[in-house]
Amino acid sequence: MEYQFSERVQNLKPSAIREIFKYAADPEVISLSAGNPSPEAFPVRELAEVSNDILTNRPIDALQYSVTEGYVPLRDFLRDYMKKTHHIGRDFDDVLITTGAQQVMDLTTKSLCNEGDVVLCEAPSFIGSLNTFRSFKVRLRGVRMEEDGMDLEALETALREEPAVKFIYTIPNFQNPTGITMSWEKRKAVYALAKKYGVMILEDNPYGDLRFSGEHIPAIKSLDEDGLVLYSGSFSKVIAPGLRVGYAVAPKAVMQKMVVCKQGEDVHTNIWSQMVCDGFLRRYDFDAHLARLRDIYREKSAYTMDLLDKHLAPYITYHPIDGGLFLWCTLPAGVDMPAFCKQAVLRKVCVVPGNAFLTDEAEPCQSFRINYSTPTDEQLAKGIQILGGLIREIVEK
């Protein structure tokens, strides 16, 4: 049988990270390539208690069909929590519960974009979102990153040159993959540019609650007086990714279209998972839970950066982080990054090649991403030591 695939998927490639997971499945391989929360971070006992209560006292509510917009008590909680805690949500906004934050990317693109439209993305950016945008046959234009976020001059140039821009995609807090946090001044400037050129902003914030040092910076959505910003949040990094519960805060007119699109995808997000999230948020001290997560990641990230300083300096540099799950490491000029990553795999250490995060994977890239949250301390020490030995072999030979 000769299979004829749709034009939407003909040119899509498997996620580089998911492909690397195939190597990581080898128990001898140290995976520094995942994006998973630390195993210590899961509130297992609490989730078991909530789930047992739901299935004992309200089983039909959890097992029956539900509404597309999401579990009403959870939406009410988020509406109140986001406004009080993050100053997010105006009278023109509403909340939609999604099947993970990844679905927010999908529904936004499906609702706003036609084939050939342009999405402006940070360069580099999260591969999962890039592949979602590509699946709708939009054109991606990368905007280079600086130490405090997107290059504003490059962003305005792109907005001026591209008449078909539908939205700007940004991960302003502890960006995946670079770990960079956009400054408050740049957040205000990005919003002003979006308003000037009449485009929306898709603000993706899965890591914002995982700040373990430095000062909190308000969300771009907190500036939104004009209905320009669609905010994406998730419980994957702060409760459990397996629940697949994310959410969007967006202008009602946009959300109405997202709801219609969602009805054609999955009818509604898993209602049991939504009830578990809602029960956890209401029954336990969520702020105390977040504080515990920050303690875990503060200690683990410091340990990892000490290892990088010890084993990779001076040849490999990295961007220090104040939160999130990733470190962006850059090889010296002249070192073949893809070859380095392949050699690392042969030595039983997996990292993610940086070109996987570019809008054009053929562009030159000297960086790779590592994840510090998933491996044990022993695995981090051994894996980073192996990487250090490899770079020294290459540079000092």
> Average pLDDT by consecutive 10-residue portion of the chain (397 residues)?
73 59 73 92 97 97 97 98 96 97 97 97 96 95 96 98 97 97 98 98 97 96 98 97 97 97 96 98 97 97 97 94 97 93 93 93 92 96 97 88
CATH 3.40.640.10 domain locations along the chain: 45-283
Domain 7-43+288-396 has CATH 3.90.1150.10: yes
Phi-psi region of 100 (alpha: psi -120 to 50; beta: other; left: phi over 0): left
Q: Which pLDDT does position 24 carry in this prediction? A: 61
Domain 45-283 has CATH 1.50.10.10: no
Say if CB 386 and CB 348 are below 8 A apart: yes
Rounded Cα–Cα distance for residues 329 and 312 (Å) = 9
* pTM to 2 decimal places: 0.94
Residue-wise over 121-133: b if at least 16 C-beta within 10 A, else e? bbbbbbbbbbbbb
- Exposure of 253 by Cβ count < 10 A (0-12 exposed, 13-18 middle, 19+ buried)? exposed
Q: Which pLDDT does position 315 carry in this prediction? A: 94
Q: Which pLDDT does position 34 carry in this prediction? A: 86
Q: Which pLDDT does position 25 carry in this prediction? A: 66
CATH 3.90.1150.10 domain locations along the chain: 7-43+288-396
Q: Which pLDDT does position 8 carry in this prediction? A: 72
Q: Which pLDDT does position 28 carry in this prediction? A: 85
The greatest distance separating any two alpha carbons of the chain, rounded to the nearest whole angstrom, comes to 67
